[in-house]
Amino acid sequence: MSELKQYKMFIDGEWVDSESKKTFKSLNPENNEPWVEVPQASEKDIDIAVNAAQKAFDGSWPNLFPRERAKYLKAIANELRENAELLGKIETIDTGKLFKETKTQANYIAEYYDYYAGLADKVEGTVLPIDKANMQVITTRVPIGVVAAIIPWNSQMLLTAVKLAPALAMGNTVVIKSSELAPATLFEFGKLIEKTGIPRGVVNIVSGFGEPCGRALTSHKLVERVAFTGGPETARHIIRNSADNLSQVSLELGGKSPVAVFEDADQENALNGITAGIFGASGQSCIAGSRLYIQNSIYDNFLEKIVNRANKIKLGPPMDSKTQMGPLNSLKQLEIIEKNIKLTLEQGGKLRCGGKRHTFSNKGYYFPPTIIECDNHNLPTAENELFGPVLSVMKFNDEKEVINKMNDNQYGLSSGVYTKDINRGLRVSNAIRAGITFVNTYRLISPSAPFGGMKDSGYGKEAGIESIKDYTRIKTTWFNTSDKPMDDPFTMG
Ligand code: NAD
């Protein structure tokens, strides 16, 4: 076994161990071996980190001119571009995601910091048309305070950027908790943050488990805003935790995103979009298009094409540029997938490809592209978020039926429609209760496109202009413009 890579936490501008000196190891999903060791934060460590963030918030940071803060965001963007290769490599070893994807993403994430740097001085207040004589009333947008950012193991650079960039632009300070399943990338990112010279305590990065680290952070009295991405069960804990500090919470949760292919669709386009949607990142994407509805008239023929395509996907080491699907991130997830497939097949699902651990799964967590025909979309693989490369396929007859089926699930994050009839594309998009609908495309993100769900996929939006306001509070100030004294309160009216 090679030597373990070691990281410390980034608190108040210093690299520190946990107070207890306790650590934990993270596994490389490619070979199931520990490769990195990080501090295990306790309640005490979280208290230190939050107090450091509060001290920075009480200092000069919120009072810098917005364009001064923007300079730090641009510096982060530049560091990301210059270090995309290194960040990509660390994230790949930590998560099992393909290097070509993590490297490209680290580079692209720079755009989010540039975007919010540009918005830093564009958030304006108002002058209100008030119904009182001699009064001028204004509203201003003020920062909230200490923000707790809780990150899942996948797409960490993106999910950090959509919280950190708007929070910093608006003058908040932040404590970020990395995922216990893949803690390394954020510490590598912390080194870049340090290089920008951002005032100490403005950004703090901690590592630990949901209990006690995540709980202590999201319930800390000084935390006033919690930005969470993760699963719905954890989200329920977060909301309960926020009862302690009455913080504002945003939740970006899971999905079971439906995709409809109509008989008039451009099939090659649909095939590429569906493949990207469910087999990209080995299906470990919150917007994975995992429920596929194919119109009856093209069902057999189109399904055959998807199965053929899936069978050609090349599994392999995530650093290899020829690999198309790497390992899953954890054994626990692999076992959840296996259990759901077993139950689905017992209940009548028909396996068309994959379905069993890949042979080189003796060490790593490799699972092949899997397609299951389901005659009912309440079967386990068609209903539950699996976070893996498993596509459940169903038939439909007409638009009304498929809309009902697409909406018949607890989640509402993403969705897709393939049709050449743009009116129909728009009708279906309007009818689907999901935060995002892709028409004739899939799996795209942009700093300017709001991202987030409905129903059990959470609330609040990340990215886009509006989300920057979620890192502010409206403050109302009344000015009495009269030179005369105020009326005696007991003679009013
Ligand atoms: P998870 O919910 O298990 O963990 C997410 C984070 O929450 C981790 O950092 C974890 O330590 C922390 N946590 C756990 N218990 C906590 C507690 N009691 N209090 C505070 N924090 C706690 O999620 P995961 O397995 O890392 O990620 C997969 C999930 O994330 C999937 O459901 C996926 O769909 C979702 N996800 C959503 C989006 C989105 O933008 N909507 C993006 C990526 C992933």
Q: Find the mean pLDDT for residues 71-77.
A: 98
Q: Are 289 and 258 in contact (CB under 8 A)?
A: yes
Ligand 1 touching residue 253 (CB < 6 A):
yes
Distance from Cα 27 to the centre of ligand 1, integer Å:
18
The SS3 of residue 405 is: helix
Ligand 1 touching residue 252 (CB < 6 A):
yes
Distance from Cα 277 to the centre of ligand 1, integer Å:
20
pLDDT tier at 3, thresholds 50, 70, 90:
confident
Ligand 1 touching residue 154 (CB < 6 A):
yes
Residue 11 tokens read as 């608190």
Q: Are residues 12 and 42 in the same domain?
A: yes
pLDDT tier at 360, thresholds 50, 70, 90:
low
Q: Are 413 and 265 in contact (CB under 8 A)?
A: no
Q: What is the pLDDT of residues 146-205, one digit of tens each?
A: 999 999 999 899 999 999 999 999 999 999 999 999 999 999 999 999 999 999 999 999
| Alpha-carbon dihedral angle through residues 57, 60, 63, 67, given to the nearest 10 degrees | -110
Location of structure tokens 């042979």: 359
Q: Are residues 205 and 246 in the same domain?
A: yes
CATH number at residue 324: 3.40.309.10
Q: Are residues 231 and 282 in the same domain?
A: no
15 forms beta bridges with 10
Q: Ligand 1 test: best mutation among 26, 91, 150, most atoms within 8 Å of CB?
A: 150
Q: Ligand 1 test: best mutation among 220, 234, 384, most atoms within 8 Å of CB?
A: 234
**Structural domain contains residue 447:** no
Nearest-angstrom CA–CA distance, 392 and 383: 9
143 forms beta bridges with 472
Q: Are residues 428 and 467 in the same domain?
A: no
Per-residue model confidence (pLDDT) at position 32:
87
**Structural domain contains residue 101:** yes
Would you say residue 437 has pLDDT above 90? yes
> At residue 405, what is the residue type?
K
Ligand 1 touching residue 286 (CB < 6 A):
yes
- On average, the pLDDT of the chain sits at 96
CATH number at residue 464: 3.40.605.10
- Contacts of residue 14, defined as CB under 8 A and 6 or more positions apart, other chains included, come to 200
Distance from Cα 231 to the centre of ligand 1, integer Å:
5
Location of structure tokens 């999910």: 159
Per-residue burial over 342-367, b if 16 or more Cβ lie within 10 Å, else e, is: eebbeeebeebbbbebbeebeebbbb
Q: Are residues 265 and 239 in the same domain?
A: no
Ligand 1 touching residue 349 (CB < 6 A):
no
Question: Containing domain of residue 57, as a range?
Answer: 5-253+457-476
Ligand 1 touching residue 156 (CB < 6 A):
no
Q: Are residues 216 and 284 in the same domain?
A: no
Q: What is the pLDDT of residues 266-325, one digit of tens each?
A: 999 999 999 999 999 999 999 999 999 999 999 999 999 999 999 999 999 999 999 999
pLDDT tier at 1, thresholds 50, 70, 90:
low
Would you say residue 329 has pLDDT above 80? yes
Nearest-angstrom CA–CA distance, 414 and 393: 17
Report the candidate in 85, 65, 230 with the shortest Cα–Cα distance to residue 148. Answer: 230
Q: What is the pLDDT of residues 191-234, one digit of tens each?
A: 999 999 999 999 999 999 999 999 999 999 999 999 999 999 99
Q: Are residues 470 and 420 in the same domain?
A: no
> At residue 93, what is the residue type?
I
Distance from Cα 441 to the centre of ligand 1, integer Å:
26
Per-residue model confidence (pLDDT) at position 363:
77
Domain count, the chain: 2
> At residue 382, what is the residue type?
A
Q: Which ligand 1 atom is nearest residue 234's CA? A: 2
Q: Find the mean pLDDT for residues 342-354.
A: 98
In the chain, the percentage of residues whose pLDDT exceeds 70 is 99
Q: Are residues 132 and 176 in the same domain?
A: yes
Per-residue model confidence (pLDDT) at position 483:
96
Rg (CA), the chain: 24
Would you say residue 42 has pLDDT above 70? yes
pLDDT tier at 491, thresholds 50, 70, 90:
confident
Q: Are residues 320 and 353 in the same domain?
A: yes
Q: Find the mean pLDDT for residues 427-438.
A: 98
Compute φ and ψ for 61, nearest 5 degrees. Answer: -50, -50
Q: Are 357 and 364 in contact (CB under 8 A)?
A: no
Q: Provide the 8-state DSSP code for 485.
A: P
Known catalytic residues are 252, 286
Per-residue model confidence (pLDDT) at position 362:
61
Q: Are residues 204 and 172 in the same domain?
A: yes
Per-residue model confidence (pLDDT) at position 487:
85
Per-residue model confidence (pLDDT) at position 137:
98
Q: What is the pLDDT of residues 449-470, one digit of tens each?
A: 999 999 999 999 999 999 999 9
